[in-house]
Amino acid sequence: MPLRVLPPEVARLIAAGEVVTRPADVVKELVENAIDAVIERQAHDRSAEPPAIRVEIRSGGLALIRVVDNGSGIAADDVELAFQRHATSKVATAADLDAIHTLGFRGEALASIGAVAQVQILTRPPEASAGVSVTVEQGQVTSRRQQGCGAGTTVAVRNIFANVPARRKFLRGQTSEATQISQLVTHYALAYPEIRFVLVNDDRATLQTSGRGDLAETVVDVLGVKVAEQLLPVADADAAVAVSGYVGTPELIRPTRSGLTFFVNRRIIRSPMLGHAVTDAYPAAMLAGRFPVAILNVSIPAELVDVNVHPTKAEVRFASDHAVYQLVHRAVRMTLGDRAPLPELALTPPEAWSDTPLPAGPDQERRPAVRSTTTDPGAVAAAQTLAFFAPSASNGAAGDATAATGARERQRDGAAEARPEPTAIRLSALRPVGQVQGTYVVAEDDAGVYFVDQHAAHEAILYQQMRETRQCAPPAICASQELLQPQAIDLTPRQAQSLAGQGEQLASLGFGVEPFGERSGLLRRVPSGIRHRDYVRTLLEILDLLAAQAEDPSATSAFDQASARLACHSAVRDGDTLSLDEMRELLAQVERQPNLWSYCPHGRPIFLRLSSAQLARDFRRR
């Protein structure tokens, strides 16, 4: 076949294919444009109406996608230009590409969408007296007329991929497309709490945020109270980079990475590196192949990040991956380790009482859902709200203003709701009261009553100790106890192999074991403190773990997992009766661990707290 230059309509379709492969891509491009537009308008006119973006879809976006904003609009004369490739108002010179503050910048969005669908734009800049409506089909303008409308832009995309049957064939079902779109809008709603988002799917409003600039509130709006209650605020910064947002408690675990949402300068991105930074901050054994939930924004000066590396801008490149990883990891770690709140215990009154309506209190208190973990939640929550996702200084004056107002409102709300109880761990001098069900230690301090899972608490202490032993330099080995008589152990070939190759790892855990024939080992020493009954089983499990790591070196640290396993087998068991002295000792050990997780290495909570105030409320003493 002879070579030839492609006709323009074919070239257009090919280019469009890079940007637009499914309805969600259209929504992404349009919503990003809308966000840029509303922010631009706020920046010029503080008295403008509060920013709002409405997304409407039908049949998963295949029949209709309509995005309505009340932003700065497009001047009547420029509308057709917007449909040309590389037509943009956001970048003028090559230098601008090094400091991009807007979401869109390439000028490809409308051109690409226009190539694969029928697009109608209705737009009016606030200062213009009348709007203009332009319809484009397959890249050609088919209609243009003046029309009255509100300030802002409405883009309606119909019959997407009608002219690209191949693409249409590869789409998943309508529900799947709708889910994608919903997730996308959710993410942007979280990134921009100061913009009011509405998503209407087949005439049903499925998502609605207040747009008051308060992230905590937005989190409740989009994720629900239940999830929001299990989120912990993250905020940390170094000289150049700041990270803020929320991570889930170790209880909030998902089977996939779907709960990990990252923004860089409030642009949603995919980043395996950030995923690792978060996941690695959780105890490996707890996750065991599952993933935590995180919604984090990395604020980074535009010159330290390149957003122009991916056709749909789904990935970015940092000047220093390492620095960003370190910061995010540290921030999440601190949030989880030092300040994870104790899960609160809610008392349910017996059924018989329920005909008496409870005071309105509890419901109102549900509202501030995302718990603060500091000593003065009211004030700090406000401060965090200010910091969180606050637009960077260069483009965000308007956002700041709205966020600040929201925060002040919240602060007042918080005061009115009067729930200034710190829920942070402050375990000074817990007094053991007794043990219930052979499993939980009940303790109290001045602030409330605590239920402590004896096994989980002990396990967490041991795990922490092992990690510390490991981390000191030179790495110490765990103390071990010699056996009276060496014990022969039968091994699978896999276990035998890992014994042959990993004797050093085992020794550092406190096991003294040597190969003894083809398929067995001779156990001479065991880690001190391990329960008698479990040491052989523990050793076999650890050999399996080490074998798995040898086969797949990229697996998360087998040592961490092995430590967790060992801690579990060394800890007191459910059903072990503890004397009051033993309970006191356990609680004292917990108190001595400065970085103790409130969760055991398996991710189960260690403490449940019933605050004195909650007790008083439930007994209607006040």
Partner 1 sequence: MKLTCAQEHLAKGLSIVGRAVPSRSPMAILSNILLATDGGRLKLAATNLDIGITCWIEAQAEDEGAITIPARLLQEFVSSLPSGEVALTLKPDRLTAHLRCGASEANIKGVDAEEFPPIPRVDGQVTASVEREALHTAVHQVALAAATDETRPVLAGVLFRLRGGKLTLAAADGFRLAVRTVEVSAPVDTSYDVIVPARATVELARIVPDDAEMIDLTVTPNRSQVLFHTGDPATGRGGITAIELVSRLIEGTFPNYEQIIPARFATRVVATTKDFQNATRIASFFARDASNIVRIHAQPGEELTPGKLIVAATSADVGDAVSGIDAVIEGNDLQIAFNAKYLGDVLGVLNTAQLSLEMNTPASPGVIRPVGGDGYLYVIMPMHTQNAGR
Closer CB to partner 1, residue 11 or residue 429?
429
Using CB under 8 A, which of the segments 174-182, 243-251, 284-292, 473-481 binds partner 1? 473-481
Closer CB to partner 1, residue 262 or residue 535?
535
Residue from 589, 604, 612, 615 touching partner 1 (CB under 8 A): that is 589
Residue from 211, 396, 414, 529 touching partner 1 (CB under 8 A): that is 529
3-state secondary structure 240-299: CCEEEEEEECCCCEECCHHHEEEEECCEEECCHHHHHHHHCCCCHHHHCCCEECEEEEEE
Closer CB to partner 1, residue 405 or residue 589?
589
**Strands 291-292 and 253-254, sheet pairing:** antiparallel
Using CB under 8 A, which of the segments 225-233, 301-309, 443-451, 522-530 binds partner 1? 522-530
Q: Which of residues 31-70 bind partner 1 (CB under 8 A)?
A: none
Residue 232's beta-bridge partner residues?
A: 247
**Contact between 525 and partner 1 (CB under 8 A)?**
yes
**Contact between 470 and partner 1 (CB under 8 A)?**
no
**Contact between 581 and partner 1 (CB under 8 A)?**
no
Q: CA 351 to CA 302: how far, in whole Å?
A: 58
Q: CA 190 to CA 197: how far, in whole Å?
A: 10
Q: CA 133 to CA 154: how far, in whole Å?
A: 9
Q: CA 64 to CA 200: how far, in whole Å?
A: 11
Using CB under 8 A, which of the segments 155-163, 316-324, 405-413, 483-491 binds partner 1? 483-491
Quickly tell me which residue has 């629900």 as its tokens. Answer: 224
**Contact between 533 and partner 1 (CB under 8 A)?**
yes
Phi, psi of 115 (to 5 degrees): -75, -25
Using CB under 8 A, which of the segments 172-180, 369-377, 490-498, 525-533 binds partner 1? 525-533
Alpha carbon 190 to its chain's center: 11
Q: Which of residues 306-325 bind partner 1 (CB under 8 A)?
A: none
Q: CA 272 to CA 279: how far, in whole Å?
A: 10
Residue 148 burial (CB count, 10 A):
10
Residue from 477, 540, 548, 615 touching partner 1 (CB under 8 A): that is 477
Q: CA 27 to CA 180: how far, in whole Å?
A: 10
Phi, psi of 84 (to 5 degrees): -85, 150
**Contact between 484 and partner 1 (CB under 8 A)?**
yes
Using CB under 8 A, which of the segments 51-59, 396-404, 417-425, 472-480 binds partner 1? 472-480
**Contact between 483 and partner 1 (CB under 8 A)?**
yes
Alpha carbon 542 to its chain's center: 31
Identity of the amino acid at 257 = R
Residue from 528, 580, 616, 620 touching partner 1 (CB under 8 A): that is 528
Q: CA 436 to CA 423: how far, in whole Å?
A: 23
Closer CB to partner 1, residue 309 or residue 588?
588
Residue from 4, 204, 532, 621 touching partner 1 (CB under 8 A): that is 532
**Contact between 429 and partner 1 (CB under 8 A)?**
no
Give least dist CB 573 to partner 1, A. Answer: 10
**Contact residues for partner 1 (CB under 8 A)?**
476-485, 512, 525, 528-529, 531-534, 585, 589, 592
